[in-house]
Structure formats: structure tokens, C-alpha cells
């Protein structure tokens, strides 16, 4: 089984980290193909970055489709381009935010999200609403560090995240913590030890859900609103997308 | 006052029609600048088309910003790139779907949407949920004609829409009808006459809301999640977006 | 265009202030007719006051109808009698609470309300729920000053409101503030300067929405639940309402 | 124990019928005082009628208060003036719509409402939403007879109601039926026999809830938003309400 | 009238206390039959305890049915086995949590729950959601004392509850307090005096609702999802339940 | 890895079928231990059956815990005893209804459930609400065959299910179908072929989610409301549960 893990931003160090996190939980027969677009923002910290990055996500999906991968993972916590990718791909597509929410809801009655910037909280909240998890999530908490600052993680970073997680645990009754950024994929174990709660990394969660769907022979429903995009002309730079 | 009306698809005939509809309701001192991207799909009929078109929307917003327009309108019923545009622009940005929903809720207790393809219904439903109008909308009804077929509108088209509108009125108690596609901007009056209900075209509604915000001296809150995008490098094709 | 602005309470000073606020944002051709009932409470600070004041609102609507105004505005933050007025009038009717909520949702992802008395918070919360804005409003915050104390506004008043607004901004992520009382119609600019967020006054917002509906040729749907009241006898003091 | 049952409309025949229905279920020691305003509409079939009738409701509450009744019931299915009356009274106040919804939810997982005019459906739907019962009610169904036509009830009327009730039962899984009009207070048994489901009349339900609150020594919380109205001048016709 | 009050745990002291609380509010002609299962946990402090106790509840319902009681009350705040009991019984069945929520919503716009252990809060929250009261309840607050510690109630216990109740009143605007445990049935008056709000005990509330349903001739709808259990073999220990 | 699959009813043929379905999708290293209680109903078709069966589920969980299984699956579509089992077990516990809902939401925007008896629809609807999937599920559709009739499945059975599934697909826009009964575990492929939509069997889905959690090192959060049951005496038949 080959699973394409797409880092929607263009930071190779993060792509590498995400690839390692994915491979670490993949089962023996699963090959992880970590990739990221050549074009786009080095980090995704708002709707604008996300909108531009979505184009890169779709082009990586196209490559993955040509390589006949068995599943695609979108490894940015805003799940950018998820429904567009489900239309465009024939293999299943999983976003790391949805993956983490699903797993968290299987092991707790209430969970919290710890993410990077306050300004991206609304993105997570909109996803929780659309996916149906608003009532299960006690809060989306922010440490207000830029995404790329996660690269230089030290004990202060973990402590900073732990502080938010403890407040969610003690003040709101959260029973599990979701890591709210693909760049946090290597921090789960340390955070879990610091706070005594299970911590869910969306990259790892998405790998297991992707394997699961493949094992079950399930892929995106092609009846209705996620069917292949309707063939039509695209103009200019996107003429190659004409079908 | 200058209002930029962006048709997110690349069909010039539709851009022209939308521009006329906007100008028809603009007040004397308002200049409508209708435009559309050079690159992208000729129509938007799903998440994939929408994701690609969003890039064009943002580039048009950039141009509008350089021309110091007073407001931007995104004239596709999925409001593609709305929050990204609000980050990117300093002037207010209005989507035609939200505009139509707001106006409909001022003149009826319940409204229905009549749109083109069944496969795009989910896009409208997600917007209704995010904006808070789910309970006010009785249904999103589809005539299952492609967007570009609206260009050749004849009496059959109106009758087809009227049939759906009447069912919403009689079976569900809808008191007003929202036109669910920018390409329907010229059909409101005929449909209203056919069914005896007010009909709201989002393009016209958005022009009035844009004028209203400008008059009130209000623009997108730049505190918090719609602040200007954080400056950062963009790679490759999008290097010009680096800030 | 003539817009009737009804102050539902009987305080003439407030009617005057509201009228000025309305005229200040009306466009050149719009005439504002500010009025208030002869009979009823001098301020509206609860359900009881509101219920009595509603009678006055409807009688003012009747007068406005006879004067063939183009739109009616109900300038009390509880939108008293809104749906009754929509039945009774043929021109569109706008409440200042709904107007402010609509405008706030066009320029922020989340807004807060700052109002007078804690005991009226429930009225705003019920409106948010009915209109669909509950998820968009982070909180309704109260300064616990009586409505008429707003007449003697000084710097302390602004600071008192600013304190609540800052908490909504910093603790809850509100990006815009809605003024929760018609009597605050002259305080928007000062509050906005104090807190660095856009502030929406419902009176001003309602004037622009009223102008917008008139421009669009839209009025309350007379099909269904907002149709003209069914003709019937009224007894006693209200015999003159028999139809 | 003395319970005041207020028919908000001015039809004495209906007041009489409601009084009988209330007395029929009151326990031996309970005295029913049925009354209706001298002034106002002969029936309540929309928001306008309801707004006018609310004044009469409050004046009847005032009388009941002077007579030191133990509880007040508002016997119109829109619960007009309910929260205003709770402020104004010191004894508990029950609306017949809320009473019926509460009872129905104790004996079924889902119930339906059968009421008179389609145009009043929105009133019931708004109440269901505000009280929290939206998910428990499968539909509000209308027989499209005017309220006063209920006075001449014959077998056709029951059959007309039964047809709607059967559809709620068979198509939507409703397990109980709520009578959606005070004027239907004498029809419960016949309807129940016709359809084989329990039928809840709000007048009867409200009497039992009123007795219950009195027995429990509970009355409206006077802390917070239902506290006594704030004392203030009322002008003109309503000067007598100044406190 | 005979009402069976089932204490789902096996602590006889608590059964006695609950029986007294029930009898104290029952009207003259009502006989309270307090009982508890012979088998099961001495207190219910989680889903596991509740699941085991449910079996005892159903066996007590069986006994009550054989004694032809007029109504059954389940006197544990999680309403364990409520829908199963409604299937199994022919007389009406009331849970004390639902009873308290219903009564609280008749006398306040918002109420709070004060209960024992934080770990049981989720049970109350799930009930609030299922019954439709989530929006009406400001919070479920816990004093973190075990259920059986309520037996040794002293002034400290009341003060501990009062502290939580005051915070709900002052910080959240709760107008009434619901006692969140059957074992608190004797504490309502003291708590109410301490905090100046009405306090609702579910045992007392359930007795009045049970009397009300009996007076109205209403019982669980036997059409649909609460019909008598389908006859079938039960194996092993439960063979006696075969029908 | 060893996964215990608990059939909550006592029909061995169904246990066998469920075990086969589980083994069919388990990966090579996973051992399926299918079991069912010795005591309880032969099928679960309502709340009463479910309440009795829950005891058996918990006793099977106890056995599984003693055998140190890696995960437990509750293979009845009502997920009976799920939260109690999560308290009681240390390994993760998955219900087949939740498993199917999660998987369905990864491959479609809207799904429908096809189940056996109309009277059990409410159970599924309550689960959808509690888990957050209400908005994603278009309807719960019933074929009104008893659970055990599934044992004699023939082409008529598939056609009967297909008819409901097609209506969900064509009238409601469902993109995937969830099988609403453990006894349907062998029917997914045939139904999928008949209707052209992906079909999700909860037993298979649960196996993959169980494997996933084990791979991720995640189990039920033991902080808060799913912590081990509090130690206490149990009386009578359940004395062996005292801790």
C-alpha cells in the first residue's frame, strides 16, 4: 500500500518531519510518499495562505493519482482543499484535522485542540462545525508561536503547549488533546507525558484511517457532490486542467 | 464610489451580464468595475473548480486593491475565497451568497434557494451553516442545468426555476426565493412575476451591502482572524506574493 | 426616499438623538422621519416594557403607512414588534438589532454585543438565536447602566463600554462590537477609537439596509406568514383596528 | 388554590370553553378563574393580533395579581406575553404551548403539533426553538381553518385534524399529538380515539403544571431577567403603569 | 393514586430519604411507594454503575406494574433506563433529571445544575442535549463529593453547593438551580435560602409531573418507539423475561 | 493483536456471522475473538432489550480484559453500554454504529442509514445526535424486518434494502449507506452493487478503527469521565462487581 502524504506548505524540513511521523505509525507493508508543492507559502497561517496552498495540494493529488497511490493525506490542520481533492482523486483523501477529531472522539467524551496562532483558531472552529464535532471540542487553544517556530522545539515549547492542555483538562474537562498543526507531529509523546492525557497527532491518525479505508475497499463516493469534476475548459495558466 | 465586482469564472459573457446587473442597482455615484480572472475554469460547478478559481479571485482582489476600489464583490454563489479576500483586502468584501441570504432574511421568515446543479447543493448548505442561516432556509433546490446553459435562457428556464420555487413556497412555506448562481442575475424579475414571491439576486444584494458598508465607514475588522496575511516567503510561481 | 425611524420608547431626547444618527448616514436623497409613540414607557428595559411599547410601535407604523413612507425602522435593540410590523406594513421593516448583527457578520468572523442592563441580555440572546447569529456572537456584555443614563454620556461611559469590548476582543476573539441599545447611537466612533475595532450602531446599519431594500424593489413577502393581518373585529379600545 | 386562565382573545365563547376544559382537569380544591380582555382581537391569527392581544393579557395578569391568584395561565398557543407576564406577576405563569410541549415530551420521543392556520406555523416553530423542543417535534401541521371556525366543530373538523395527525404518525414517527390552539381544548379525546395516539391539550396541561408549581412552592425567579419590571414613568394612555 | 419511586441504587438510607421527599410534596390522595433494587451498586457515579443499576430499575418497574401503580419515578439524576422503562411499563414513567429541567424552565430563562462528582457531569450534559435543554442550562457544576457523603450533610455541604450556585447566578446569569442528585432531595430549602434563587429538586418535581399525567389520563405513547418490548426468548439468567 | 468482538445478543448464528465479517477485514496479524453473552435477549430491538443486553456486554468486556485483549468491539448498532465499557476496560472500545458513522463521513458529505425496525430508529437518531453526526445523516431508513429475519437473507432482502438506499440517494442526496444492524454484516457488497454507492458495515469499520487505535498506542482517556469505575460495594447478584 502506498499513501501519499502532502504537506501543503513548501517547507521541506516540515515535509520531512511529517513523512517521518507518518512512516513511524504505518504498518510494515505501507509505503509513505511525503511530498509538498514546489509553489506556495512556506507556512499556512490564515485563509489567504490556505487558499494559495490549496492549488499546490491539488497538483500534488494529481501527481499521486498518476502514481496510482492508494490514498492521499492532506497534512495541514485546516484540511485545505479536502473536498476539492475528494472530487479530483479516485483514491480516498483524509485531512489531518478530521482524522484527529475522529480518533479523539473514540477515546474521550470531550477533547481540546492546542494549536499555534490565535488567528487560525477560526479555521479549526469552522471545521469542527462542518464535521459535526463542535459539541465534543471544549476549546481551540493557541500558544501564539508561528508555525515555523515549531522547528526549533525545545522544552519551552512543550511546556507552553502543556499549559494550555492542562487548562483544557482542568477547567473544561477535556479528556484528550488534539495537536492542531502538522508541524507538531513529533511532539505528541512528550506532551502526553507532561499532562497525563492521550494526545492525538493528525498525521498519524490520518495514516491509520487511510490504511483502514483501503483495507475496507472504500473510497470517496463518486455519486453526487464528490463525483469527478465536470469536464470543461480552463483558461490561461490552468489550461492544462481542461478536461 | 467604485465597487469591483469579480466574476470568479473566466466566461466573459457572464462577467458582462453580472456587471450589468450590478450597475442596474448601483446608485448614481457608484461605478461598477466588473472583471474576471484571465486564468481558470469557464464555470464553477464543484469544489475543484472553486478551489482553482479562488486563486483568480485573489489576484483580482489584488488588482482592485491597487486601484483603490472602495469594495470588492465575489460574484459566484459559493463565495469562493471570501475569508482569504477579507484578509487580503483593506476594503470590505461581500460574497453574493451571503448577501442574498442576509437580504432574504429581512423580508421573509423562511426562504429557499434555487440553483443550477444538484452537485453544488452541498456548497450552499455549508455556507448556510457557517453563516447561521440553516434554520431560515427551507431547502436548496436544483434545476440541474449547467451554469453556462443559463446563457441561453428562454421561457423554459424560467418555468423550470418557477416549478422548484413553487414547491418551496407551497410545500415548505418559503416566503422568498434566493437565486443560487451569479449567472441568474438577470432572471429575478421574471421569476418573481411567475411565482408571486420576492426573488433576491445576490449580485444586486451585494452591491447594496457594499455601498452600505462604505457609507457607514465600516470595513473588515483587521483585529484577529481577518488581519492582513502574515508576511512570509512564497516559493516558485507564487514568489510574487512574498511579503 | 422617506424612511420612518421609530423610537419605541417615549423619550423625546432619545428620539432626537436617534433621528440625528439616522440622518447622518442617510444618503442625500433620503429623508429621515424620526418619531416615537405618545403613549408608553420612557425606556425599554425588559419584556414588560417591550410588550407595552410594541403597541406604540404598531401605531407609528400605521402612521408611517398612511404617509406612504418607503421603509420603517424599529430603533430599539430588542426589535419589539418586528414581525407584527412586517405583517402590518407594506413597506419593508428593519429592526436595529438584526441590522447590526447582519452588518457585523459581514466584517468579522465573530462579534460581541455591548449593551446596558444585564437583565436585558436574554432579549438579545433570544434574537441572536431566532435570527441565526448565536454562533457568530461571542457574548452579550452589559455595563449595567439604565438606558436613560446614556443621555448623560461622558468619558466614563465610553471607558465602561470599552472595558467590556476589550474583554470580548482579548478573551473571546471578537473582531467587531455591536452597540446594544438605540440610545448608544452617538457613541460608535468614540468606542471604536478606544478599542481599535469596528463598532456597529444598529440605527445607522438599519438606515442603510432600508435604503438597500428600497433600491432593490424588495419588500416583506406577503405570501405566507407575514401577509397582511387577517381582517376581523377588534373590541373596545382597539375597535379602530377592526378590518 | 385559584388559577387564573386568561384567554388572550376577546371571544367569550372561547373563554367559556377554555374555562370548562381547565376546570375539568383541575383537582377538587382548585378554582379556575377564566377571563379575557375587554379590548382586542376576537381571535389571534398572526403576529399583529398577538402583539395587540398581549396588552390585554398583561392587564388581566394585573387583575389576577390584585386578586392574589396562585397562578396565571395564558391560553393562546403562541404564549403571547409570557416573559412579560413572568416579570409582571409574582405568582407563576404558564403558557399553553410550553405546557403541551413539556407534557408531550414526557410520553413520547417525538410529537407533532396540529394547529389551525398555516400562517401561524412560524409562531409555533419559534416557540419550539426558544424552548428547546425543535428536535422533538416532527412537524407543525395545519388544517387551514380560522380559529373561530373551531366553534362549530363537527365530525369533519375531527377528521380534518385526524388526517394531519395520521400523517405525522405514519410518515414522521410522531408518538403524540399536541393541539395547537386554545380553541381546540374540547377536541382531545375525540382526536385521540380517531388516531390511537395520546393527544395533549395545552390548557389542561397548563392547569396541572400550575398546580404543580404551587404545590412545590416554586414561582418565577425574581433574580435576573424575570425580576419585577423596573419602575419608571409611562406616558399617555399607559400612565397608569408608571411605577 | 399510587406512585412508585424507584431509587436505582441499593442504599436504603437514600431510598428512605427520597421517599420522604416524595411524600412531602404528594397531595393528600397520593401514596408514595419508595423502593430500590436488591442487587446493584450502593451509589451511581458513572456510566458503569448506571448500566448495572438499570437492570434493577427495570425489575422494580416490573414489580410496580404487577402492583398496578399509577406511575413510576426513576430517582437518580442520570435517568437510568428511562426509555427502557417507558417501553416496559404501561403507566407513565418520569426521570428526576428531566422533571427538574422541565420545572426549572417554567420559572427561569436559564438554570444551572449543581451535582456531586465532576465525572458525572457528562451524564447530565448528554441528558440536557437529548431532552433539548442544552441552551437553557448555563452549566453543570460539581462539588466533588461522593454521592453517599450527602448522607452526612452539614452546613459545610450547603455552603459548598451555595458557592457553585452563586457563581452560576452571578457569572452566568442562572435564575434557578437544579439539584443534580437524588441524594440531595432534602437540601433544596436550605440552598434556596442561602442563595436567594428557586431550587428545584427532581424527586419532588417528578411526583408532581406524575400526578399531572395521571390526572390528564396520559401515559407513554404505545405507538412507535416506546411500544411494549417485542416478545422474544431471553436466555440464561434472564429467561424469565422471555415473552 | 487480539480484538474481542462482542455480539450483545445471544444468537450464536449471528455471533458467528459477525466474527466472520470481522476476520475478513482484519489484517494478517489480528486475531478476532467473537463472543456473546450467555444471558440475555436473542435479538435487540428496542431500549428494553438493549438495557438487559448491556449487562452481558459488560461481562464480556470483563472476560476480554482478563484475557488481555487489545481492543473490544460492541457489535450491535445501538452501541449498548459503550461509555460504561470504556470506563470498565483499559483497552479501547469501539461501537459499530459510531465506527460506521466515522467511516461514512470520510467518504461522503452526507450518508443514510438502512436498518431493520422503525421502532429502533430513535436509537440511531439519539446516537447521531450525541456523536455529532446529525447534520451529516440524511435519514435513518427502515425495512421493517425483525433482526433475526436477516439470517434468512435472500435476494428479496437485498432488494428491500436497496429500495430504501435508492430513495436516500435520489431524494436526499446521500452519497454512502451505513448498514444499521450487526446482523447485516454480510450484506454490504451485494447492496453496494445494487445501488452503486459505497456501503459501510460497522463491524468491519470497527475492526479497522480498533487496529488503528492500537497501532497509535491510544486508548480511552482515563482522566475524567471515562476513568475506571469508582470502587464501591455492589449488593446481591452483583456483589462480584464490588471493588
Q: What is the DSSP string of D134-194?
A: GGGEEEEEE----GGGGGG--HHHHHHHHHHHHHHHHHH---EEEE-SGGGTT-HHHHHHH
Q: Which residues pair with E3 in a beta bridge?
A: E32, E71
Compare all CA atoms of chain C with the CA of A121 and give the residue at the minimum distance: C173
Task: Encode pLDDT of C177-231 as tens digits.
Answer: 999 999 999 999 999 999 999 999 999 999 999 999 999 999 999 999 999 999 9
Chain F residues near residue E227 by CB distance under 8 angstroms: 46, 119
Look up residue F235 and give its DSSP letter: E
Task: Yes or no: say if F177 and F195 are a contact pair by the CB < 8 Å rule.
Answer: yes
Kindly indicate the confidence band of residue C80, based on its pLDDT and cuts at 50, 70 and 90.
Answer: very high
Contacts of E234 (CB under 8 A, 6+ apart): E240, E241, E242, F10, F39, F40, F41, F42, F52
Kindly indicate the confidence band of residue D45, based on its pLDDT and cuts at 50, 70 and 90.
Answer: very high
- Which residue in this structure is represented by grid cell 416478545? E231
What is the C-alpha separation between A46 and A43, in angstroms, rounded? 9
Contacts of F163 (CB under 8 A, 6+ apart): none
Contacts of D154 (CB under 8 A, 6+ apart): none
Query: Which pLDDT does position A124 carry in this prediction?
Result: 98
Touch D-A: 3+ C-beta pairs under 8 A = no
pLDDT at C154 over 90: no
Q: Name the CATH topology of E2-95+204-241.
A: Rossmann fold (3.40.50)
Largest CA distance in chain B: 55
- Which residue in this structure is represented by grid cell 479555521? A123
The cell numbers describing C196, all together, are: 481599535
Classified as helix, coil or strand, E57 is helix
pLDDT at F57 over 80: yes
| One fold for B2-95+204-241 and B97-202 | yes
Task: Yes or no: say if F229 and A114 are a contact pair by the CB < 8 Å rule.
Answer: no
Query: Which pLDDT does position C129 carry in this prediction?
Result: 98
Kindly indicate the confidence band of residue C149, based on its pLDDT and cuts at 50, 70 and 90.
Answer: confident
Query: Which pLDDT does position E120 carry in this prediction?
Result: 96
Cβ distance A221 to F173 less than 8 Å, yes or no, reads no
Query: Which pLDDT does position F154 carry in this prediction?
Result: 81
Task: Indicate the range of B68-72, C27-31, C149-153 predicted with least confidence.
Answer: C149-153
What is the C-alpha separation between B29 and B27, in angstroms, rounded? 6
Other CB atoms within 10 Å distance of the CB of residue C66? 8
Question: Phi/psi at E222 (nearest 5 deg)?
Answer: -100, 15
Chain B residues near residue C92 by CB distance under 8 angstroms: 106-107
pLDDT at B146 over 90: no
Query: How would you classify the pairing of strands D2-6 and D31-35?
Result: parallel
Percent of chain D surpassing pLDDT 70: 100
Classified as helix, coil or strand, B23 is helix
Chain C residues near residue B103 by CB distance under 8 angstroms: 212-213, 216, 218
What is the C-alpha separation between E81 and E72, in angstroms, rounded? 12
Kindly indicate the confidence band of residue B150, based on its pLDDT and cuts at 50, 70 and 90.
Answer: confident
| C&D contacts, CB < 8 Å | 152
Query: Which pLDDT does position A64 carry in this prediction?
Result: 98
Kindly indicate the confidence band of residue F12, based on its pLDDT and cuts at 50, 70 and 90.
Answer: very high
Cβ distance E225 to F46 less than 8 Å, yes or no, reads yes
The cell numbers describing F18, all together, are: 459477525
For D135, what's the count of Cα atoms within 13 Å in the CB-facing half-sphere?
Answer: 18
Percent of chain F surpassing pLDDT 90: 94
Cβ distance A220 to F169 less than 8 Å, yes or no, reads no
What is the C-alpha separation between E83 and D109, in angstroms, rounded? 9
The cell numbers describing E240, all together, are: 424469565
* E strand map for E128-213: 137-142, 176-179, 199-200
Burial classification of residue B193, based on how many CB atoms lie within 10 Å of its CB (0-12 exposed, 13-18 middle, 19 or more buried) = exposed
pLDDT at F153 over 90: no
Query: Which pLDDT does position B21 carry in this prediction?
Result: 97
pLDDT at D178 over 80: yes
Among E235, E236, E240, the strongest candidate for a mutation testing the F interface, having the largest count of F CBs within 10 A, is: E235
Measured between alpha carbons, how far is residue F74 from residues C64, F17, F97, F122 in Å? 66, 14, 9, 19
- Which residue in this structure is represented by grid cell 448506571? E50
Percent of chain B surpassing pLDDT 90: 94
The H-assigned helical ranges of A89-144 are 96-107, 121-131
Q: Which residues of chain A have pLDDT under 70?
A: 153
Q: Which residues pair with B5 in a beta bridge?
A: B34, B73
Among C37, C130, C235, the strongest candidate for a mutation testing the D interface, having the largest count of D CBs within 10 A, is: C235
Chain F residues near residue B47 by CB distance under 8 angstroms: none
Task: Yes or no: say if A137 and A128 are a contact pair by the CB < 8 Å rule.
Answer: yes
Cβ distance D109 to F122 less than 8 Å, yes or no, reads yes
Task: Encode pLDDT of C116-136 as tens digits.
Answer: 999 999 999 999 999 999 999
- Average pLDDT across chain B, whole number: 96
Which among B27, B10, B12 has a CA at the least distance from the CA of B204?
Answer: B27
> Would the ipTM clear 0.90, i.e. be above it?
yes
Q: Which residues of chain E have pLDDT under 50?
A: none
pLDDT at D243 over 90: no
Query: Which pLDDT does position E151 carry in this prediction?
Result: 80
Query: Which pLDDT does position B123 carry in this prediction?
Result: 98
Chain B residues near residue A81 by CB distance under 8 angstroms: 51
A235 closest CB neighbour out of B38, B46, B51: B38
Kindly indicate the confidence band of residue D147, based on its pLDDT and cuts at 50, 70 and 90.
Answer: confident
Query: Which pLDDT does position B151 carry in this prediction?
Result: 79
Which among F55, F77, F109, F71 has a CA at the least distance from the CA of F218?
Answer: F71
Query: Which pLDDT does position F121 carry in this prediction?
Result: 97
Q: What is the CATH number of domain C97-202?
A: 3.40.50.12500
Burial classification of residue A239, based on how many CB atoms lie within 10 Å of its CB (0-12 exposed, 13-18 middle, 19 or more buried) = exposed
Domain residues of chain E, as ranges? 2-95+204-241, 97-202
Q: Which residues in A114-149 are b (16+ Cβ under 10 Å) and which e? A: bbbbbbbbbbbbbbbbbbbbebbbbbbbbbebebbe
How many residues make up chain E in this entry?
A: 243
pLDDT at D152 over 80: no
What is the C-alpha separation between C61 and B18, in angstroms, rounded? 36
Query: Which pLDDT does position E146 carry in this prediction?
Result: 86
Query: Which pLDDT does position A146 carry in this prediction?
Result: 86
Compare all CA atoms of chain D with the CA of E134 and give the residue at the minimum distance: D132
The cell numbers describing C128, all together, are: 441572536
The cell numbers describing E37, all together, are: 433494587
What is the C-alpha separation between A27 and A213, in angstroms, rounded? 14
Query: Which pLDDT does position D162 carry in this prediction?
Result: 97
In chain D, which residues touch F (CB < 8 A)?
A: 109-110, 135, 173
Query: pTM for the full model?
Result: 0.97
> What does the pLDDT average to over D186-196?
96
- Which residue in this structure is represented by grid cell 442504599? E11
Other CB atoms within 10 Å distance of the CB of residue D20? 14
What is the C-alpha separation between C117 and C160, in angstroms, rounded? 13
Kindly indicate the confidence band of residue B169, based on its pLDDT and cuts at 50, 70 and 90.
Answer: very high
Query: Which pLDDT does position A152 carry in this prediction?
Result: 77
Touch C-F: 3+ C-beta pairs under 8 A = no
Among B109, B135, B137, B171, the strongest candidate for a mutation testing the D interface, having the largest count of D CBs within 10 A, is: B109
Other CB atoms within 10 Å distance of the CB of residue E243? 10
Kindly indicate the confidence band of residue F155, based on its pLDDT and cuts at 50, 70 and 90.
Answer: confident
Query: Which pLDDT does position B233 carry in this prediction?
Result: 97
What is the C-alpha separation between E222 and F46, in angstroms, rounded? 13
Task: Encode pLDDT of B102-122 as tens digits.
Answer: 999 999 999 999 999 999 999
Query: How would you classify the pairing of strands F40-41 and E234-235?
Result: antiparallel
Query: Which pLDDT does position D215 carry in this prediction?
Result: 97
Kindly indicate the confidence band of residue D150, based on its pLDDT and cuts at 50, 70 and 90.
Answer: confident
Amino acid at each position: 500500500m502506498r499513501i501519499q502524504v502532502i504537506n501543503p506548505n513548501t517547507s521541506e524540513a516540515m515535509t520531512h518531519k511529517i513523512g517521518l511521523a507518518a512512516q513511524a505509525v504505518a504498518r510494515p507493508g505501507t509505503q509513505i510518499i511525503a511530498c509538498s508543492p514546489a509553489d506556495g507559502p512556506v507556512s499556512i497561517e490564515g485563509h489567504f495562505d490556505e487558499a494559495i496552498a490549496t492549488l499546490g495540494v491539488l497538483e500534488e493529488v494529481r501527481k499521486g493519482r498518476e502514481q496510482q497511490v492508494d490514498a492521499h493525506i492532506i497534512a495541514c490542520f485546516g484540511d485545505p482543499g479536502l473536498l476539492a481533492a475528494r472530487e479530483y482523486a479516485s483514491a480516498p483523501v483524509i485531512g489531518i484535522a478530521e482524522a484527529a477529531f475522529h480518533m479523539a472522539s473514540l477515546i474521550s467524551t470531550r477533547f481540546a485542540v492546542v494549536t499555534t496562532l490565535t488567528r487560525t483558531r477560526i479555521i479549526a472552529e469552522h471545521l469542527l462545525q462542518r464535521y459535526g464535532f463542535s459539541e465534543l471540542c471544549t476549546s481551540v487553544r493557541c500558544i501564539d508561536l508561528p508555525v515555523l517556530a515549531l522547528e526549533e522545539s525545545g522544552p519551552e515549547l512543550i511546556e507552553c503547549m502543556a499549559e494550555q492542555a492542562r487548562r483544557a483538562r482542568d477547567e473544561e474537562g477535556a479528556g484528550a488533546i488534539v495537536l492542531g498543526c502538522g508541524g507538531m507531529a513529533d511532539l505528541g509523546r512528550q506532551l502526553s507525558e507532561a499532562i497525563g492525557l492521550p494526545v492525538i497527532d493528525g498525521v498519524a491518525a490520518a495514516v491509520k484511517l487511510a490504511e483502514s479505508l483501503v483495507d475496507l475497499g472504500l473510497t470517496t463516493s463518486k455519486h453526487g457532490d464528490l463525483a469527478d469534476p465536470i469536464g470543461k475548459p480552463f483558461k490561461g495558466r490552468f489550461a492544462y486542467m481542461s478536461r
